[in-house]
Structure 1
Amino acid sequence: MRTKSKWSPGPGIKVQSIATNGDGDWVVSACGPSSGICPDCRRHSTSRHGWSYRSLQDLPIQGNEVTVRLRLSRWRCTYRQCKRRTFSGPIPDIASPYARRTARVTKIVALLGHGTGGRPGERLMNQLGMPVSDDTILRHLKRSASRADDEPPARIIGIDDWSWRKSWRYGTIIVDLERRKVMDILEDRSVASVTQWLKRHPAIEVVSRDRCGLYAQAAREGAPQASQVADRFHLFQNLRLAIEEQMSLSGRATGRALLPDEDIETDHDDRALHEEAPEKRLRNQLRRTHRQSRKEVFETVHALSKEGLTCSEIARRTGYGRRSIAKWLTFETPPDRRRGALQPTSPLYFEAFLTQCWKDGNRRGRHLFHDIKHRGYTGSFSNLERLLATWRRSERPEADEDEDKGDAAPARTGLVDCVYDNAPVRDPHTGHWISPVVAAALCIKPRGALTVNQERKVDALKQGSQTFATLRSFSMRFRGIFRSRKSARLEEWIDDAVHSGLVFLARFARVLRRDIDAVCNAIDLPWSNGQAEGQINRLKTIKRAMYGRAGAELLRARMMPVQLADLHTK
């Protein structure tokens, strides 16, 4: 049998006896030190006043529970001038005051709870021979998270949002990019809460964020001394979306191509079309040509079916899905596109109410937004403003005509003309149309990272689409600026993009100019928000694993690094 010294739960503890009960669990009887130190006068005392007993849960033996029955002495202070008469000696290396388990068991409870959560941690602890309830595990987690503010201040942080419920409610995560760990979890996504948090941490020097204007404003108000850094991934993501929208104007995916220039010019409403405002003329051209091309594709599908081709063969030749082909063959004329059911997230859901308010003279966007909010509107203010902007433009045709005659008119006319500079391009390998999504992804990808098939697609797109060739030239220049770490070249790129005649690329460049300092810092500095994005993925996993118990306090405790050094202290 082992010697009693090897069963000791900590320094200064003497084991008196070891026994097992009827259930096979072990009971270790021990006593505390033979003297104590007064916490006030710091004098040793050997005058015992009485005894007290503590039962502590300890590490198991072969899956069986171990209970340490510890007898501790209460001492008299023999120094007459000391105000304290009696005291009990603390045992911080073994257990914290009032604890029901030893410090080494407490560490295991905290580690399992931090990694698995309450109920999974409870099941694991029961199997390991250290039964602990899930509430106790969560209580340890929250207590550990409350001591996280005692760590050294952070200098470089990343801020990003995460969703409690997508498109409904959002929170904020703040990450220390130097130490690569979460600093805090905020329940909401607002300027006020982020500003208050930043003001409590004045040592921050760099704030990395995405393109969200909310966090930019919060950083300006809460940490004016810090440099803001735009996230490079989101910059390229926004560029890809701008390219995708521009390519969507040049040609339709899945075979719904726009008509060539000569077909547009021979339209019977051509004169009326060119007398409209440039933006309205562009929308009308897109609608008219899309309807005509859809009709031509419908007729092509029926012609191929009359030749005896199967739905699969027609789908391979046209690029449509086989189910779409089968559905179209059941109609004699192109079916009308059904409008989706309106939801409270759309201002058109309250169109009757808004129209009446508009007629009554109530045309302030904020007032209308407040009114329909009380009627159940769950969308954004910007979505409502887009609808109201179309109503305002329809009531002032004179202003549109004056704008058409101004300095911006030639550039806008050129934009309308360049939309129809080419037809959609087919993949040389499969013969299918190359969608704008694929074209945009290939446009920002460097030549060295392309596969053989992707290189063929890029070459085909450059030969068949002048728009794509121009966009790829801009995207490669943009990538080169970031790789060279020279932000001085960015202004020239923005000027060229604004005057390129490509409407969505120009819009992207103008937005860059509004946030030019943060974008330049993204080029010059090595920091990015990648670590914050990774922590958000971890947060989503934890949130979904905890089901309905994933409150803000518990999420914060699971995301914060566990404080092992202080787990046994209260």
Structure 2
Amino acid sequence: MVALSDQLPVWAMSKIDDLAGVVFAGLSALVIEGVEDEDDLIRVMARTRDEPVPCPVCGTLTGRVHGYYRRTVADLPIGGRRVVVSVEGRRLLCPVWECGRQTFREQVPGLLERYQRRTRRLTGQLGAVVTELAGRAGARLSAVLAVAVSRSTALRLLMRLPLPPLRIPRVLGVDDFALKRRHRYATILTDAETGERIDVLPGRGADVLEAWLRFHPGVEIVCRDGSGAYGEAIRRALPDAVQVSDRWHLWANLCGKTLAEVRSHSACWATVNPARPAGVREQTTRERWQQIHDLLDKGVGLLECARRLNLSLNTVKRYARTRQPDALRRAPRYRPTLVDPYRDHLRERRATDPAVPVQQLFREIRELGYTGSLNLLYRYITQGRAEGERPITTPRRLARLLLTHPDRLRESDAQLVQELTAACPELTALARHVRDFAALLTPADGNDAKLTAWITTLRAADLPHLHGFANGLELDRAAVNAALTLPHHNGRTEGVNTRTKRIMRQMHGRAGFDLLRHRILLQ
């Protein structure tokens, strides 16, 4: 142990004092008497200032010293080395005889706290680390920062951090998230205008939200998804509040119904759908569809079909809902390869001589400028890419094209949509209704009246799946009207939910509800 003051001449001591004042600026509330170098540790010798302090009981100022005590606290590291502050404090006498506290230890507000072994600024730094990383990850990072703590200490630090004061927002965002999927859920409340976390409630039933709203009045607008439980809780607790349905969920529901309509009319538009030679997977799909529908026609139930065919119940349900096996086709996704420019040559050669060896084809396209390998050519031919004109169009892809803004479609995709919808009058009407509803999702005055006209026009079309979508809109019409006319939405709450899922993955499901709620509200 070497004191720095023993290694320097007297004329340099003033410079050292100035340097210590800069390096240890956070300790300005103390009087620094010396700094000692102990290899991997820097020890700062300090004492409290000779100033009167108030009694913690009666508040009377006193400077009468009864004795001294010494405490050691850790401070922010310097240069990757730990810093320990050895503080000499005073035990003072209270001059008021009636006070219940005759002597007390003075504290240093803003720097030291009672019973703490770290300075407040070091505790703040560790608090920022554990807020983001929690237990094990926070302990690993703190060791790199030369402030080693255990994972249990990291969690205790996290739970001691004060939560922000509860504030009742004007526009409240409500959404749920899964604590354990299909078993336990929770409800998160945010300020829909700023994204600030307000509270996290256990459960997602109507009673939980209703109790919170009754205990915290003042909310004027509530943004939510299509949950009937949340809607009922808001109506019971805040009958005068405006409920706003989330526009993203409205569009997501329309997307699902659009896909169902496209699948139901696949036998119509598939007549102009460019086909591809059936592969092993497509043949298996057709056989499985036929087996399931044969059993269903004989009166066999879904669960029994799943048992006989050794399939999951959800798979059997998906095949049972599909009226044509073509609706289950999936287009292969191929990346561009070096063989693509020579596909016409390969097609012509294999059409004239189906038994031509691949080695011969490889030599021919090498002469034409092919620079790829023989193995790549083998895979290209084996996958059937030499004969196929283009991949088939699946119902999912067609639905995606119908749901894309026409100005954002490539020319080839726009041409494909035009060809397929021209072969099916129902698809033509579907594309028109999708575009009209998409225009309503930009909030504007009068959109509620336009929605009424849209639903009336939709009723006359032969689109049963979209009729179900319209029925759902009518059941929650007031909230839907507010969504189409007011600028409020639940997007910020959905973003908080995304970060909540990151927190849950980070803790690998080992956190209880209290710890999870604490981290969510501190983010």
The TM-score by the shorter chain falls in which range?
0.7 to 0.9
Kindly indicate whether residue 33 of structure 2 is the aligned counterpart of residue 16 of structure 1. Answer: yes
What is the alpha-carbon distance in structure 2 between the residues aligned to residue 339 and residue 19 of structure 1? Answer: 87
Find the counterpart in structure 1 of residue 469 from structure 2: 508
Shift of 1:157: 2.1
Aligned 8 A contact 1:31 1:72 in 2? yes
Alignment match of 2:90 (pick from 73, 76, 88): 73
* Structure 1 residues 52 and 549: CA distance shift in structure 2, 3 A: farther
Deviation per CA, 1:226-284: give whole Å up to 9, x if none. 211111111011111112212222125996x8xxxxxxxxxxxxxxxxxxxxxxxxxxx
Find the counterpart in structure 2 of residue 279 from structure 1: none
Kindly indicate whether residue 213 of structure 2 is the aligned counterpart of residue 213 of structure 1. Answer: no
Shift of 1:320: 4.1
Find the counterpart in structure 1 of residue 45 from structure 2: 29
Find the counterpart in structure 2 of residue 46 from structure 1: 63
- Corresponding residue SS for 2:75: strand
* Structure 1 residues 317 and 523: CA distance shift in structure 2, 3 A: closer
Find the counterpart in structure 1 of residue 347 from structure 2: none
Shift of 1:54: 2.1
Kindly indicate whether residue 197 of structure 2 is the aligned counterpart of residue 182 of structure 1. Answer: yes
What is the alpha-carbon distance in structure 2 between the residues aligned to residue 51 and residue 339 of structure 1? Answer: 92
* Structure 1 residues 151 and 451: CA distance shift in structure 2, 3 A: same
Find the counterpart in structure 1 of residue 143 from structure 2: 126
Kindly indicate whether residue 484 of structure 2 is the aligned counterpart of residue 526 of structure 1. Answer: no
> Which amino acid letter does the alignment assign opposite residue 237 of structure 2?
G
TM alignment of 1:360-379, pairs within 5 A: none
Deviation per CA, 1:515-563: give whole Å up to 9, x if none. 111111111111212222222222222211211423222222222235x
> Which amino acid letter does the alignment assign opposite residue 24 of structure 1?
D
* Structure 1 residues 41 and 540: CA distance shift in structure 2, 3 A: closer
Aligned 8 A contact 1:171 1:189 in 2? yes
- Corresponding residue SS for 1:204: coil
Find the counterpart in structure 2 of residue 159 from structure 1: 174
Alignment match of 1:204 (pick from 212, 215, 219): 219
Find the counterpart in structure 2 of residue 297 from structure 1: none
- Corresponding residue SS for 1:174: strand
Shift of 1:480: 2.0
Find the counterpart in structure 2 of residue 324 from structure 1: 282
Aligned 8 A contact 1:206 1:228 in 2? yes
What is the alpha-carbon distance in structure 2 between the residues aligned to residue 319 and residue 202 of structure 1? Answer: 65
Shift of 1:198: 2.2
* Structure 1 residues 218 and 424: CA distance shift in structure 2, 3 A: closer
* Structure 1 residues 24 and 253: CA distance shift in structure 2, 3 A: farther
Find the counterpart in structure 2 of residue 147 from structure 1: 163
Kindly indicate whether residue 241 of structure 2 is the aligned counterpart of residue 226 of structure 1. Answer: yes
What is the alpha-carbon distance in structure 2 between the residues aligned to residue 26 and residue 347 of structure 1? Answer: 73
Shift of 1:456: 1.4
Aligned 8 A contact 1:539 1:559 in 2? yes
- Corresponding residue SS for 2:204: coil
Aligned 8 A contact 1:17 1:30 in 2? yes
Find the counterpart in structure 1 of residue 291 from structure 2: 336
TM alignment of 1:113-512, pairs within 5 A: 113-144=130-161, 147-148=163-164, 150-251=165-266, 317-318=275-276, 320-325=278-283, 336-337=291-292, 348=303, 432-483=391-442, 485=444, 486-512=447-473
What is the alpha-carbon distance in structure 1 between the residues aligned to residue 267 and residue 109 of structure 2? Answer: 72
Deviation per CA, 1:44-92: give whole Å up to 9, x if none. 2111122232221101122111111112212112234545422333322
Shift of 1:455: 0.8
TM-score after normalising by structure 2: 0.73
Find the counterpart in structure 1 of residue 519 from structure 2: 558
Bigger drift between 511-520 and 181-190 goes to 181-190
CA RMSD of aligned residues (A): 3.7
* Structure 1 residues 155 and 77: CA distance shift in structure 2, 3 A: same
What is the alpha-carbon distance in structure 1 between the residues aligned to residue 235 and residue 37 of structure 2? Answer: 66
What is the alpha-carbon distance in structure 2 between the residues aligned to residue 229 and residue 252 of structure 1? Answer: 39
What is the alpha-carbon distance in structure 2 between the residues aligned to residue 102 and residue 425 of structure 1? Answer: 65
* Structure 1 residues 334 and 523: CA distance shift in structure 2, 3 A: closer
Percent identity (aligned): 29
Instruction: Give the structure, 1 or 2, with the largest relative contact order (CA under 8 Å, sep 6 or more).
Output: 1
Find the counterpart in structure 2 of residue 267 from structure 1: none
- Corresponding residue SS for 2:442: helix
What is the alpha-carbon distance in structure 2 between the residues aligned to residue 176 and residue 319 of structure 1? Answer: 55
Aligned 8 A contact 1:499 1:506 in 2? no
Aligned 8 A contact 1:425 1:460 in 2? no
- Corresponding residue SS for 1:550: coil
Aligned 8 A contact 1:13 1:33 in 2? yes
> Which amino acid letter does the alignment assign opposite residue 147 of structure 1?
L
Shift of 1:476: 1.5
